[in-house]
């Protein structure tokens, strides 16, 4: 019988996030290997329930947002319970994309066979993320809820996956009880680029991909661009993504007189396809886990500039295939950027090192993910006691 891998998430599955890119790649690879790959989300639940809960979606209070999340959990639990019941003794792995989805999956399992696993996608903590977005306050009801779910759910899982060792250490310090849970650290992976997209000559300089929000810190990239121009180096920058910071970034672009150098490309469904048209990927996030866009850039042989935060130093090496820049010093970052881009032999060496880094550190991750989620000839395990 085919092994079943069910991704449990509160995301829609077609949006702009790296999380969705990740699990859609996983589902595609499971199906390609002959498994039964399923996306389970409240957005594919009963239409009546979705209509009843829709007024809560745009709640302006923390408690309203929390109530909406709980309503979504009801829909997700119904769908997962049905999958557990139908699977019987068939190998089943539920791959949750958040602690809340994992909590629902454990409740839906209700003692039946099957494995409930989770990947840690968030940066530092889910509380930090919603606070940084201005959606909640420290110690408020939403943060308390997220902290409880993480603390109580993670130790009950059958396995945990971290995208980097930094996040394994961070979560372990906050929830020591996960020491008893089987764990793996597996880098995010990116498939090799299509042959027709390899070897293309770049037509622009810098590419940044990500939601336009405070954590992603794209304003730093504009400051770097202005500092480089003042030093006599005029580079183009493509900002891919949308979000709450767009108007502020457009205003900063005008203030720095960068209008003819910066392109706001908006949300792009297949943003990685833009990589070969640029000389380099640039990244300015203040917090990060294991951003998928980095191995995607490396797969095309493109060097990366990024701050050494979170799991990034585990992914790319300063002075080899990347520049690790200081987010407090845009002028120095501009000088380091120009030193690479204006030196053809050095740039060529960094580009070759980028592809080699992809081959050495990321190309094998696909098999590790598949063997973890859908091991060949595995039967459905009993739940952990």
pLDDT tens-digit series, residues 103-143: 999 999 998 999 999 999 999 899 988 888 888 889 998 89
Most confident by average pLDDT, 5-14, 64-73, 133-142, 171-180: 171-180
Q: 383 phi and psi, to 5 degrees?
A: -60, 155
Average pLDDT over residues 159-163: 96
CB atoms inside a 10 Å sphere around CB 217: 18
CA–CA separation, 262 and 205 (whole Å) = 10
Task: Please report the pLDDT score of residue 364 as a whole number.
Answer: 87
CB atoms inside a 10 Å sphere around CB 203: 10
Who contacts 182 (Cβ-Cβ below 8 Å, separation ≥6)? 158, 159, 160
Task: Please report the pLDDT score of residue 218 as a whole number.
Answer: 98
DSSP state letters, 168-212: HHHHHHH-GGGGGS-EEE-----PPPPGGGTTPPPSEEEEEES--
Average pLDDT over residues 330-348: 98
Give the confidence band of 44 by pLDDT, cuts at 50, 70, 90.
confident
Q: Is the pLDDT of residue 283 over 60?
A: yes
């Amino acid at each position: 019988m085919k092994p079943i891998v069910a991704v449990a998430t509160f995301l829609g599955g077609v949006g702009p996030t790296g999380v969705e890119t990740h699990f859609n790649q996983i589902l595609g690879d499971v199906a390609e290997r002959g498994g039964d790959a399923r996306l389970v989300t409240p957005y594919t639940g009963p239409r009546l329930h979705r209509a009843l809960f829709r007024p809560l979606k745009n709640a302006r209070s923390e408690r309203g947002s929390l109530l909406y999340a709980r309503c979504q959990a009801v829909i997700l639990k119904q769908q997962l319970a049905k999958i557990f019941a139908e699977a019987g003794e068939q190998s089943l792995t539920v791959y949750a994309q958040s602690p809340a989805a994992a909590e629902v999956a454990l409740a839906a399992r209700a003692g039946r066979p099957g494995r409930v696993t989770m990947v840690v996608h968030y940066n530092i903590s889910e509380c930090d993320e919603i606070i940084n977005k201005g959606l909640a306050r420290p110690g408020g009801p939403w943060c308390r809820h997220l902290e409880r779910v993480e603390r109580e759910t993670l130790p009950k899982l059958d396995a945990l996956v971290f995208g980097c060792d930094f996040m394994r250490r961070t979560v372990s310090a906050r929830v020591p009880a996960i020491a008893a849970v089987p764990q793996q650290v597996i880098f995010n992976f990116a498939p090799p680029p299509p042959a027709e997209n390899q070897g293309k000559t770049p037509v622009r300089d810098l590419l940044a991909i990500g939601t336009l929000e405070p954590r992603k810190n794209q304003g730093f990239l504009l400051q770097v661009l202005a500092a480089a121009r003042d030093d006599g180096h005029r580079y183009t920058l493509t900002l891919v993504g949308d979000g709450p910071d767009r108007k502020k970034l457009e205003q900063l672009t005008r203030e720095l007189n960068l209008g003819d150098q910066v392109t706001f490309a908006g949300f792009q469904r297949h943003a990685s396809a833009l990589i070969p048209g640029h000389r380099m990927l640039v990244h300015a996030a203040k917090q990060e886990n294991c951003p998928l866009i980095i191995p995607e850039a490396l797969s095309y042989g493109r060097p990366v500039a990024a701050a050494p935060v979170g799991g990034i130093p585990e992914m790319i090496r300063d002075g080899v295939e990347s520049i690790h820049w200081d987010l407090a010093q845009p002028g120095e970052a501009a000088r380091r950027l120009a030193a690479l881009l204006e030196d053809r032999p050095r740039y060529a060496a960094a580009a070759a090192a980028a592809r080699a880094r992809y081959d050495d550190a990321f190309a094998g991750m696909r098999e590790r993910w598949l063997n973890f989620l859908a091991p060949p000839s595995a039967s459905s395990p009993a739940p952990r006691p």
